[in-house]
Structure formats: C-alpha cells, structure tokens
C-alpha cells in the first residue's frame, strides 16, 4: 500500500514568504490536482508543517539579535505557530481525512519524520498503522525538508518515490546535491 507525504507547503515557503521558494505556488496547486486525480491510490495522506515557537530561537534555528542567517543552520524567522506564514498555501487543498503533522516546535527540524500528529503519533507510526510500504513525497523544498523526509522514509524501511513536478528547490546547486544523496540512498524520482 502507498502513502502520500506532503512536506511543508506553507505560505512562508512559497513566493512572498519569509523563505519563499520559486515555484512554491505551482507546487501547491499541482499537489491539489494530483490528489484530485490520484487520491484514492493512497491508503493515507500525511501533511507536515513547520510550527516554530514565537518566543525563542527554536534551538538556534532562527538567527538572533541582528545576526545574518547563514541559510544552512540559521534562518530568518519563519512558520511561527499560529501565523499566516505557518498556514498551508491557499492553493493547496487537502482532503478531510489527511493527517496533519507539526514539526520544529522549539527545535530545528527538517524531516516530517521528526514531527507528531496532534494526538502524538509519528509519521512512521501513522504509515505503519495504515499498512503502507511505499510513499510518494511531494512539497517544499527539494533540497531541505523534502530531502530530509525522503531520506528518513527510506531509512525507516519504506520504498520512496519523489514526484519531480510536485517539488521545488531553493537553488539548482543544492538541489543537485540533494537529488544525488537521495538517489544514492535508493530514492526514486518519477514524473507525475
């Protein structure tokens, strides 16, 4: 059985957001179309969001006190819990049965496998409980949270496929590196 993992399709990661990626809005609408066409093919759909604390640096994740973010381990403030930036992009429509996972609550977090549903379940538990053995990964950004989620899915024993036209990257250089890492780990890339 196959599951769909929708990674961080949030306003702050799309055009105009605090860490906007070119193509983010296109990814949001593309995922909505994909779910409309292929939703019944998935035993479960899990969608993640960065959900950072407003009152601290989230374990050093946010650049502080006027320092410039290095965009490797420190970042501008983004996806703060309860803000518009943390909400799903308006072009992303998820079905009522989607399971929502929040990650990065007070700490750096890239992989959706580090997050939990509101009732405390991990992504690995959600997938296993649904009988899933294979996952499709879509979302933002190919070279950061999609990469980390795909690698963790593979490490957890799932067959992993990233759908090429339903992801967007920060930069071509880091995307190339990330795709190489994922390929080496056994992740497959496919067109929608």
β partners of residue 160 = 135
Query: Are the C-beta atoms of 146 and 139 separated by less than 8 Å?
Result: yes
50 is catalytic: no
User: Which one of the listed residues 103, 136, 143, 152 is annotated catalytic?
Assistant: 103
102 is catalytic: no
Provide the phi-psi class of 102: left if phi over 0, else alpha when psi is between -120 and 50, else beta. beta
Which residue, chain included where needed, has tokens 């890239």? 110
Sign of CA dihedral 174, 18, 26, 42: positive
Among candidates 94, 89, 116, 120, which has minimal Cα distance to 104?
116
8 is catalytic: yes
Query: Which tokens hold the place of 69?
Result: 């973010």
User: Which one of the listed residues 12, 50, 145, 154 is annotated catalytic?
Assistant: 145
The secondary element (H helix, E strand) that includes residue 145 is helix 145-155
Active site residues: 8, 103, 145
């Amino acid at each position: 059985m196959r599951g769909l993992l929708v990674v961080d399709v949030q306003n702050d990661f799309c055009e105009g957001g605090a860490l906007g990626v070119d193509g983010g809005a296109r990814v949001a609408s593309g995922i909505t179309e994909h779910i409309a066409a292929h939703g019944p093919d998935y035993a479960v759909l899990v969608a993640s969001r960065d959900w950072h604390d407003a009152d601290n640096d989230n374990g050093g994740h946010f650049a502080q006190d006027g320092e410039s973010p290095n965009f490797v381990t420190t970042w501008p403030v983004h996806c703060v819990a309860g803000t518009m930036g943390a909400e799903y992009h308006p072009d992303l429509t998820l079905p009522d049965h989607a399971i929502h996972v929040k990650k990065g609550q007070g700490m750096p977090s890239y992989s959706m496998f580090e997050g939990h549903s509101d009732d405390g379940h991990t992504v690995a538990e959600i997938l296993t409980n649904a009988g899933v053995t294979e996952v499709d990964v879509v979302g933002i950004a190919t070279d950061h949270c999609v990469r980390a989620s795909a690698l963790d899915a593979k490490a957890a024993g799932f067959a992993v496929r990233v759908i090429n036209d339903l992801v967007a990257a920060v930069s071509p250089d880091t995307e190339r590196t990330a795709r190489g890492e994922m390929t080496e780990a056994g992740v497959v890339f496919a067109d929608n």
